[in-house]
Structure 1
């Protein structure tokens, strides 16, 4: 059984987010198609676990974390062995630690990278790192991007056009099967509201949550925010100090509660402000559960998932007025809401199932093994 090793800086259970979920989907779909799957990452300690979905995960203890780039001495020492024990290496960009190690080692196994997003937060460092990025991409056999739109906002990718494949994210529907009932307090919580806009994600700088709180002042209905992250206490402070009684900060929720919260919501909102938002896993989940979407125009996969005026509204990033207007339009127009809901599930079936997108990775893996 051929072994695929995914390499990325974060993964369950050390962290919980959309990219971790995407990697899990890639892994479970590959296992379904006869591959052995391993994820290599870093964490608080060095340990190995095997998850219920059959994916073996090896964590190496983080030595230092600088600018969201965790470095592990143990991972660096083991990198040659990691590569030797894999049949296919699947990197996930960006993680400079892994990319530099790949440059400084001879890799004799087929390798691909999924380009999730560019480096946006620290632009001076990106200019220094760019030559190394290009050499890393040159070394990869395939580069997978979620949408061709990334070529317009990431010019340096164009020189690798001959090895680029478009593969969008997808979801594993079984994730939401046979779950325990939601917690009683979650059921009681949702009974208070006629309908609410739901945000789900890690509470990071690029998610546009300050804009969402500004928009809340112009929205009659409620906003529910699910997730954890660096901004949690800042958001909690704003909600309290500005008396935003219609905004509810829920923290991280397990899949049983998350499914229930999605089902009970009126719409899904993703107010991200930069292309650091690669795709938005919650938008896919919104399509699957037939929910209208409100997102922002970033030039990334978000607008591939949310088709403006078909599955919801796509507005300009950073505008609380536009965000509030889009949410109010859906909440206050039942016919419009119903139309978007119906279109959402059809859009999902046509474009974002594991069979449509996951099989693209399977074809790449098998082509590597044949060659």
Structure 2
């Protein structure tokens, strides 16, 4: 049987893209798996990547982060899958699905609500509702996210909880990253606060930089994004250039070393665009205590207050600094949270657990 994953992009470093790759790695063991995404250029290209056929449809324009690919609907219909799996929000995929009028099982993973570009909601929402009404199942990363979503609350009868997971193999300790950890201990003296993620509006990095004024520690910010220069300027204005460092991209082995070196990992997100927070899991898999914010999504399903880390209100640098300082100053608490983080990751959020859940869902729909 053929199953088709439809997403924005494939093989790039974003969180959704990594989830799609994980789904493909799992499903190709039992099904013929294909991927349909937008290309960054005007030419349509087909490749085989790790046993998966990937079709990148030519893009003629890119407007407000939306790819314009006129032939996307015809490519979707041409694939003729037994099951199509959409990754939303994705106006291109949604419109193409409706236009193609596929006669097959259909599910979607609903990754996030729209919290910006609200001007497009009156145009987009009717189309999204038509798609959601046609689907057999809607998977979400947490019950909390579904219940608090202004969109999904109307489709609770279709909801299937499918928490994302990360590979233990990907973040295992090696002699190389152990040596890197030792280097980082020399490079960053004292306590270390860590952030990993895209440098974008909803991550709340301006709040983290503000909070660091009251934290006696070094802060390392790993990631790339359009807010890099803005954050860099804020760091300079606050006089924190000697303690807050923008690192840019880091490899998986470097990430393991940073997680192992860090005393606390911080995810200071400010709104529901942060639907899950996969980097929390990465930190937890290495036993790093977490501080995250309560934004009504899966962030606090992953990170349990006083069990794996601490939870604070969003956009509150004072509360954020207090939580960070509490973990940095209380060795017994840090040890308890570290142990709890590893246990929770292994029990609920390993890649193996995610794969088992995904296979069960597909088996049910394709029986």
Scaled by the length of structure 2, the TM-score of the pair is 0.92
C-alpha deviation, 1:228, in angstroms: 0.8
**In structure 1, what is the Cα distance between the partners aligned to 2:235 and 2:181?**
20
C-alpha deviation, 1:113, in angstroms: 0.2
**In structure 1, what is the Cα distance between the partners aligned to 2:293 and 2:47?**
37
Residues 118-197 of structure 1 mapped to structure 2, 5 A cutoff: 118-177=113-172, 181-182=176-177, 188-193=183-188, 194-197=190-193
**In structure 1, what is the Cα distance between the partners aligned to 2:181 and 2:57?**
36
C-alpha deviation, 1:151, in angstroms: 3.4
Partner of 1:339: 336
Residues 310-349 of structure 1 mapped to structure 2, 5 A cutoff: 310-349=307-346
Partner of 1:231: 227
Partner of 1:296: 293
Residues 1-371 of structure 1 mapped to structure 2, 5 A cutoff: 2-13=1-12, 16-31=13-28, 33-45=29-41, 46-51=44-49, 53-82=50-79, 84=80, 86-177=81-172, 181-182=176-177, 188-193=183-188, 194-244=190-240, 245-370=242-367
Q: Return 5+ residue gaps in structure 2 as ranges.
A: none
SS at match of 1:62: coil
SS at match of 2:100: coil
C-alpha deviation, 1:180, in angstroms: 8.5
Q: Deviations over 1:5-39 (max 9, x none)?
A: 211113323xx1222222222222223x4233333
**In structure 1, what is the Cα distance between the partners aligned to 2:93 and 2:140?**
18
SS at match of 1:73: coil
**In structure 1, what is the Cα distance between the partners aligned to 2:347 and 2:183?**
35
**In structure 1, what is the Cα distance between the partners aligned to 2:96 and 2:112?**
20
SS at match of 1:203: coil
Do 2:145 and 2:275's aligned partners in 1 also have CA atoms closer than 8 Å?
no
SS at match of 2:344: helix
Q: Deviations over 1:225-256 (max 9, x none)?
A: 11111111221222234321211111111112
Structure 1 residues 269 and 95: CA distance shift in structure 2, 3 A? same
**In structure 2, what is the Cα distance between the partners aligned to 1:260 and 1:37?**
34
Scaled by the length of structure 1, the TM-score of the pair is 0.91
Q: Deviations over 1:201-245 (max 9, x none)?
A: 111111101111111111111111111111112212222343212
C-alpha deviation, 1:368, in angstroms: 2.0
SS at match of 2:214: coil
C-alpha deviation, 1:124, in angstroms: 2.6
Aligned residues: 363
C-alpha deviation, 1:258, in angstroms: 1.4
SS at match of 2:21: helix
